[in-house]
Amino acid sequence: MSQKHNNLWRFLGYARPYRRRIALSTLIGVVKYNLPVAFPWILKETIDGPLAGKTGRTGLDLNELMGLAVLLFIVYAAITYLRTFIADRLSQAMNFDVRNDLFRHLQRLPIDFFQRFQTGVISARLITDVNMAQRFVGLAGTNVFMDLTSLFSITVVIILMDWRLALVAYCTLPLYVVVQKRLGARMKINAHAARLHMDGIEGALHETVAGISEVKSFTTEGAETHRFVARCRLYLEAVNENIRTYAASLSATALLTRIPPVLVIWAGGYLVLRGDLSVGTLMAFYAYLEMIYHPLDRLSELNIQLANASAAIDRLFEFFDMQPETDDPAAIPLVVGRGEIRFDRVAFGYRPDQPVFDGLTLRIPAGRRIALVGPSGAGKSSLIKLLIRFHEPWQGSIRIDGQNLGIVDLCSLRSQIALVQQDLMLFSGTIEDNIRVGRAEATNEEIVQAAEYANALPFIRELPDGFQTLIGERGVRLSGGQKQRIAIARAFLKNAPVLVLDESTSNLDALAEQQVYEALERLMQGRTTLIIAHRLSTVAKADKIVVLERGCIVQEGTHAELLREPAGLYTRLYKDLEPAQGALVARKGRWIESP
């Protein structure tokens, strides 16, 4: 079985829990699609009976026949409502299941996945593709089946009415099937190509909107517009190709479905003139022909919709098939006591031929503050990613209190580490919601206490809605210092024994940095702390500074010890960076501007 067919069967597995509702919806749909089959028969009885001044086979007069027709369409309207209500609720239930499963799966994918795919592309899979894929069940699983039952009913009726005219009516059907099959395959290929281009548009759009401040400040609106238009043009070309195929499909359908009625009237007219066929039967036959080709027209239009749905299913399972972060079934919970961290002969890289670390060994004593310093690309952030197991080392081991992190439960590991980053992420919602990220089950009193420890309580109380203040996407309504203090409050609430500060006081003014530093001083008490910063002033009070260069430890010591090595990398970094930054140095336990 091909991968595409396998994806289809896997997707149909989501319909299995709803098979009874699908069966009910289909059964009602069959009744809905077949009820109108009775109307041409009423038309025949009316023409050959009351309108011809005769008594029809049923013996009903004109009023009774028309009353029967009205009753037929009243029932038809009621069944249409019932079928739409059941089918649409079923559709949304399946959307709910698929979207939830995909979102849970995305949460378990490694960090590499999110670096590979744009945010807009991931969002499109969750929203657009799920909606489009679900239509496959409604279109192929129910609508097509109901159209086929309607065609079968009509075919039986017209054969019983006159088998000769029935053969004329279906004379172009084999050619119709061949044409639709070939055009359908082409439309699926084109639909897949168009969707790929749309992924690029959605990804670029999300980036542009998220970075609108940079776009405006660097006056790159014209360049962004040019890039967006170029992507849209590629999508337009792909869509136009499908439009050509779709137009050809409709054109072929129009030709192959409109010739038979002419031939039926032509041949049937001769039969009426010879007295072998009544006028009422010919009119009913013509009405049935219209009913035959309406389903065929719908099947033709379904080609492109089914092609889009099938392509969306393949894209969904592209994500579903990506390997999530997994724990060994024998993984044990991490229990942190003192909080000592050891990197033992660790090798790691992002590309097989370019290792970042090759045998790195480092010991971080429990409860101490260790600063990681070095030029860009030295491996500081990579070291933290290995500690949190965003990536796995090629060889060597990383241990906390002697426990190998490679064999501990991933969730228990990350629950023991609090991370405060420069490029922190605040979510749309309230301040309380964002602090509660640290520990979802925290009480309101614990949230207030965490905010107080983080020096966030004063500014929160000044806001009109306090903790219930909405902060906007990524916290756009807060200043940089306020965002940092919310992030620190999260860390207080999490109360993890290991703390990582990644550039946590960069890009703040002096007052904001003072407030953040005071909060960090409280947060670091009694915790094993790793500090990453390009600003050397922010690490001067560390118990030990580890200087990295190209993935290797080139120096270790305190701030004062390292400055005694004039030829050392730390001294060069200090001299290069501190004058430009108006450096802050530690004096008597306080941070003040250096003279």
Tell me the DSSP string of 461-476. Answer: HHSTTGGG-B--GGGT
Q: Where are the beta strands (DSSP E) in 245-306?
A: none
- Domain range holding 247? 3-320
CA distance 121 to 123: 5
460 is a domain residue = no
Q: What is the pLDDT of residue 141?
A: 57
Residue 359 near residue 346, CB atoms below 8 Å = yes
**Residue 232 CB: number of other CB atoms within 10 A?**
16
452 is a domain residue = no
Q: What is the pLDDT along the chain (595 residues), one digit of tens a residue?
A: 455 568 888 888 888 888 888 888 888 988 888 888 888 888 888 888 888 777 767 778 888 888 998 999 899 999 999 988 988 888 888 889 999 999 989 888 888 888 888 777 888 888 888 888 887 776 665 677 787 888 888 888 888 888 888 888 888 778 877 877 777 777 767 777 787 787 778 777 777 776 676 676 566 778 778 888 888 888 888 888 878 887 887 788 778 877 888 888 888 888 888 888 888 888 888 888 878 777 766 666 666 677 778 888 888 998 999 888 876 777 888 888 888 999 999 999 988 888 999 999 999 999 999 999 888 888 888 999 999 998 899 999 999 999 999 889 888 898 899 988 877 778 888 899 989 988 888 899 999 999 999 999 989 998 888 999 888 877 788 888 888 889 889 999 999 999 998 865 556 666 777 787 788 888 888 899 998 876 666 677 888 999 999 989 999 998 889 888 888 888 888 877 655 444 444 433 333 333 3
Given 272, 296, 320, the domain boundary residue is 320
388 is a domain residue = yes
Closest CA to 533 of 428, 345, 378: 378
Q: Which two tokens stand for residue 221?
A: 């609106």
362 and 293 share a domain?
Answer: no
351 and 245 share a domain?
Answer: no
270 and 387 share a domain?
Answer: no
306 and 362 share a domain?
Answer: no
- Say which CATH number the domain at 547 has: 3.40.50.300
Phi, psi of 353 (to 5 degrees): -95, 5
Q: Which two tokens stand for residue 48?
A: 């050959």
CA distance 112 to 352: 15
Closest CA to 45 of 22, 27, 25, 61: 61
Q: What is the pLDDT of residue 81?
A: 92
- Say which CATH number the domain at 146 has: 1.20.1560.10
pTM of the model: 0.72
Q: What is the pLDDT of residue 276?
A: 84
Pairing of strands 395-400, 369-373: unpaired
Query: What region does 336 belong to: left with phi over 0, alpha with psi -120 to 50, or beta?
Result: beta
520 is a domain residue = no
442: Cβ contacts below 8 Å, ≥ 6 apart = 436, 450, 493
283 and 363 share a domain?
Answer: no
Closest CA to 70 of 99, 35, 96, 103: 35
Residue 300 near residue 249, CB atoms below 8 Å = yes
Alpha-carbon torsion 491, 494, 496, 498, what sign? negative
51 and 132 share a domain?
Answer: yes
Indicate the SS3 state at residue 534.
coil
Place of tokens 């080609």: 303
306 and 383 share a domain?
Answer: no
163 and 290 share a domain?
Answer: yes
Structural domains counted in the chain: 2
Given 320, 347, 363, the domain boundary residue is 320
480 is a domain residue = no
CA distance 334 to 327: 13
Phi, psi of 589 (to 5 degrees): 80, 5
Distance from the first to the final alpha carbon of the chain: 75
Q: What is the pLDDT of residue 3?
A: 59
292 and 231 share a domain?
Answer: yes
Give the relative orientation of helices 144-161 and 19-34 as an angle to the nearest 10 degrees. 30
Closest CA to 167 of 251, 258, 267, 256: 267
260 and 356 share a domain?
Answer: no
DSSP-derived letter for residue 475 is G
Place of tokens 């090629």: 394
27 is a domain residue = yes
Closest CA to 502 of 538, 537, 467: 538
Alpha-carbon torsion 103, 105, 109, 113, what sign? negative
183 and 73 share a domain?
Answer: yes
Closest CA to 491 of 416, 387, 584: 416
270 and 410 share a domain?
Answer: no
Cβ neighbourhood burial of 1 (10 Å; 0-12, 13-18, 19+): exposed
515 is a domain residue = no
72: Cβ contacts below 8 Å, ≥ 6 apart = 35, 36, 38, 39, 42
Residue 246 near residue 304, CB atoms below 8 Å = yes
Rounded to 5°, angle at Cα 325 from 381 and 379? 15
Indicate the SS3 state at residue 549.
strand
514 is a domain residue = no
Place of tokens 């031939």: 263
